[in-house]
Structure 1
Amino acid sequence: MQKEKSSEWPLIDAFGICRQTLLPLYLRPTFDSALVTQLLFGECYQTIAMTSDQQWFKIFHEGTGLQGWITTQSLKEIPAGDYYKYLNTDFQIVTSPVAAIEYQSTNLYLLPGSRLHFSDLELFNWQDHIGFTGSVRSHVVKADRAQLIDIASKFVNSPFQSGGRSLFGMDEIQGFELIFNIAGYSWKSGDILGRKIDSELILPGDLFIFKELERKHVKYALYLGAEEVLWMDNRLRVSYLSEWETIIWNSKDNHAELETRSIIN
């Protein structure tokens, strides 16, 4: 049944998968709307609504906990059984800056964070039908500190883009969530991972989290070791910890706090 006084029709038990390099999710069903997030190849979603003309579909992405609108041309449906299987079984996740697969004489280019589901029911049969170039890791195996920093280093100089989740544009918050997800640590939007630690105990791979309480704004910095951090400043860049601290405290509101968290044991 259509929602009263709305052009949005709810859907249930509908699921899909991203089968393009990058899939934008918009705040409203129009191309001039704000970008909420982006899905990478192989990421799955629930389809929860559509416009009355069936030109746009609202989807929910379990991995980020975000929802937005995609065009009907971008919708790639999968059975419910496949959706839940992909959520609850291991998969290979792309780690190289650019990877490619060959399927039915077509080259598909993949970005870091893209997923490959090795299933007989899926688009691909890893053993027989894919010519793959690039590097992947098993998502179920959590990266150690050195591996996490290696993953993060691939995104250095990625420009800022609100809602972005790729080398071509990274959101200030979602970018760090993506890095940790590639490393095997599930991190949904709005969550804070790990445990608080004393700043004097920080190790490479730990996070500094700066919270401006009045503006409800958060900034992250990944500690790399040797007093260096990775953070977003129009682009993802490396600087000395002291420089980052000077910048954030000079731009703070009247109520702010800085905490340190350890995510990797």
Structure 2
Amino acid sequence: MEYGIGMLSVVPMRAETSDKAEIVTQLLFGECYEVVAKEGNWLCLQLTTDGYRGWIDYKQHTPVSETYYQEWLQAKHPRVLDILGFVQQQEVQIPVGIGSYLPFFDGQNVRINDSFLAYSGRSSAISDAVTTAHLTALATCFLKFPYLWGGKSVFGIDCSGFTQQVFGICGYQLPRDAYQQVLHGEEVHFVTQAQPGDLAFFSNAEGRIVHVGIVMEEQKIIHAHGEVRIDKLDHNGIFNNDLMRYTHNLRIIKRISF
């Protein structure tokens, strides 16, 4: 088995072995993975964080030893809190966005295999104490991030990538897709009982979960729809004031316990 780690700010993971193929998710800096298949100049990765699979160009693969990989699995790693920061590798600066991983960060350096790279920006604390105020304040840091199918970074993010990153920074690992995330947490039966930090899920005409966002104060929701934005939420769904219409039909609200 081969293992690797993200050493670029973001790497697209695709559905097929082509640069034209759909982006299914992204590999962030500091995120470990297994190489599960090879085809020509393409590698199929399985992310350690959420088990998601996709293909990357072999040139964007950075191998790590099995020992390092196993150490990475056992440790809790702080995440980047700055919208955009830099990790210093000798004379080269690697841009890292909010949510990127800082493996084995000691307050000054991250460790990749046997190499140490400097980081001087803000990072999340490894703590079990998470408040809804902290979670919703963190969510607003993502405002105006552009929507990108399969994205989970400052350079483009989708609805479930957004919720996964916010909860992940707070220490709770959600699955990648909305239809998987809805299986987590306890149901909140009425929208009037929803609390900030709850996850609201929305379905299409066939009843399939296709969208997710985070409940805010005053019956509002923050979600990725064109961009990360805040809209009104009621028992019908999301009402977009710019468009003056409902854009998503509410299906269920879930509450995650940390």
Q: Taking structure 1 as reference, are residues 239 and 152 closer, same or farther at Cα in structure 2, changes over 3 Å only?
A: same
Mapped pair 1:112 → 2:93: no
CA deviation after TM superposition for structure 1 residue 212, in Å: 3.3
CA contact (8 A) 1:144 1:264 kept: no
Structure 1 counterpart of 2:159, from 172, 190, 208 = 172
Higher mean C-alpha deviation, range 164-173 or range 205-214: 205-214
CA–CA distance in structure 2, aligned partners of residues 96 and 244 of structure 1: 35
CA offset digits 1:191-243 (Å, max 9, x no partner) = 33211123333221112212337252322231111222112321111122249
2:83 counterpart residue number: 97
Which one of 200, 210, 221 corresponds to residue 218 of structure 1? 210
Query: Distance between the aligned counterparts of 1:70 and 1:92, measured in 2?
Result: 25
Secondary structure, counterpart of 1:82 in structure 2: helix
Q: TM-score, normalised by structure 1?
A: 0.83
Say whether the 8 Å CA contact 2:15–2:23 is kept in structure 1: yes
Quick one: distance in 1 between partners of 2:250 and 2:233?
16
Contact 1:90 1:138 in 2 (8 A): no
Greater Rg over alpha carbons, structure:
1
Is residue 14–residue 23 contact of structure 2 (8 Å, CA) maintained in 1?
yes
Displacement of 1:120 in angstroms is 6.0
* Partner AA of 1:259 in structure 2: I
Closer, same or farther: CA 157–244 of 1 in aligned 2, 3 Å: farther
* Cross-structure match for 1:47: 35
Q: Look up the match of 1:231.
A: 223
Q: 1:142 to 1:82 in 2, by over 3 A?
A: farther
CA shift, 1:96, in A, is 1.3
Residue 19 of structure 1 deviates from its aligned partner by 0.6
Offset, 1:43:
0.2
Q: Which residue of 2 aligns with 1:155?
A: 142
The whole-number CA distance in structure 2 between the counterparts of 1:109 and 1:173 is: 23
Residue identity (%)? 22
Q: How does 1:126-141 map to 2 (within 5 A)?
A: 130=118, 132-139=119-126, 141=128
Give the structure-2-normalised TM-score. 0.85
**Aligned equivalents of 1:148, 1:237: Cα separation in 2:** 16
Q: Distance in 1 between matches of 2:207 and 2:146?
A: 23
Q: Which residue of 173, 183, 199 corresponds with 1:207?
A: 199
Report the Cα offset of residue 178 of structure 1.
1.6
Matched, 1:195 2:186: yes
Please state how far the C-alpha of 1:171 moved relative to its aligned partner: 1.3
Q: Is the deviation greater in 154-163 or in 199-208?
A: 199-208
1:83 and 2:69 aligned: yes
Matches of 1:38 and 1:169, distance apart in 2: 10
Partner of 1:145: 132
Unmatched 5+ residue regions in structure 2? Answer: 105-109
- State the partner residue of 1:56: 42
> Cα deviation per residue 1:149-201 (whole Å; 9 max; x = unaligned)?
12111111112111001122111222211211111111112233211123333
One-letter code aligned to 1:193:
H
Structure 1 residues 250 and 97: CA distance shift in structure 2, 3 A: closer
Give the paired residue count: 244
1:56-89 deviation per Cα after TM superposition (whole angstroms, max 9, x unaligned): 1111112232111111111111112211211221
